[in-house]
């Protein structure tokens, strides 16, 4: 288990020491994409738990946070058995979105990765979007600069090739009964062309559009562009589930 800390809690920055077990890395030995996404989701949840805004408290108020967009910039890919210092903080609101940023430092004190995300406060049944004021708690706007790109909305690519289809498996699901946000990282890597799967990436952006539930099947398509790859997942009825883009150094 990671040690949980508060780093300057009066400034609203939450921090923990993050170990990297073997299971959190892919076949290259580097931290997997789904692990990065999972860490960021966990950090956000842990800070809200400490503020008495955890999942159970939100559900009592008929509210839930849903991740809408997230971006990741990896400056150095950590490997098994390293220890990182992970931090997260609020970056205010943007219309209906709650903004939240992240950073990860190695034991040498050097920056490994950064993240930026947009969250929606919703009704847990109908997923109707609620205004940030409905939370009933102040949202901080912490000035801690990062170089990670803002998670812009990604449109479905107009020109793409079929990559295959994938059912929604039981092990994909979280307690909200849809694919857990971090598991889209596994889907993206599984359907990325083989010649790119082992290439160290620099940036990754993911836009969540419509949840994927048990019994459904996702149709994956994508296209390669200079320095990157864009992928979309659609439901069998043609509606968009997610769009993601990965950029490489070379």
Q: Is 2 a residue whose pLDDT tops 90?
A: no
What is the pLDDT, as a whole number, of residue 156? Answer: 83
Cα–Cα distances in angstroms (integers) from residue 77 to residues 20, 199, 244, 247, in the given order: 12, 11, 20, 14
Q: What is this structure's pTM?
A: 0.94
At residue 155, the pLDDT reads 87
Calculate what percentage of the chain has a pLDDT beyond 90: 90
Every domain of the chain and the residues it spans: 4-135, 161-248
d(CA 58, CA 79): 35
Measured CA to CA, the distance from residue 41 to residue 135 in angstroms comes to: 19
Q: pLDDT, tens digit, for every residue of 148-205?
A: 999 999 988 888 999 999 999 999 999 989 999 999 999 999 999 999 999 999 999 9
- Name the superfamily (CATH) of residues 161-248: Hotdog Thioesterase (3.10.129.10)
End-to-end, the C-alpha distance of the chain in Å comes to 36
Length of the chain: 250
CATH 3.10.129.10 fits 4-135, yes or no: yes
In sequence order, what are the residues at sequence separation of 6 or more whose Cβ sits closer than 8 angstroms to the Cβ of residue 195?
none
Structure tokens at 247: 């950029």
Give CA separation, 4 vs 109, 222, 232, in Å.
18, 39, 36
């Amino acid at each position: 288990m990671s040690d949980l800390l508060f780093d300057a809690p009066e400034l609203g920055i939450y921090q923990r020491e993050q170990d990297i077990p073997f299971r959190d890395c892919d076949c290259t030995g580097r931290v997997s994409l789904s692990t990065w996404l999972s860490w960021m989701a966990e950090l956000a949840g842990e800070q809200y738990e400490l503020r008495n805004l955890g999942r159970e408290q939100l559900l009592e108020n008929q509210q839930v946070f849903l991740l809408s967009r997230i971006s990741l910039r990896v400056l150095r890919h950590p490997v098994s058995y390293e220890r990182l210092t992970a931090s997260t903080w609020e970056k205010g609101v943007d219309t209906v979105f709650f903004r939240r940023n992240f950073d990860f430092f190695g034991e040498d004190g050097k920056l490994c990765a950064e993240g930026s995300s947009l969250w929606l406060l919703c009704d847990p049944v109908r997923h109707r979007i609620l205004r940030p004021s409905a939370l009933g708690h102040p949202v901080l706007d912490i000035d801690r600069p990062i170089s990670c790109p803002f998670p812009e909305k990604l449109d479905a690519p107009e020109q793409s090739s079929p990559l295959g289809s994938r059912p929604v498996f039981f092990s994909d699901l979280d307690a909200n009964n849809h694919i857990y946000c971090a598991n889209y990282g596994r889907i993206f890597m599984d359907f990325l062309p083989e010649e790119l799967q082992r290439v160290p990436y620099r940036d990754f952006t993911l836009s969540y559009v419509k949840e994927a539930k048990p019994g459904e099947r996702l149709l994956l398509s994508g296209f390669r562009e200079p320095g990157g790859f864009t992928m979309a997942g659609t439901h069998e009825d043609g509606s968009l589930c997610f769009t993601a883009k990965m950029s490489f150094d070379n």
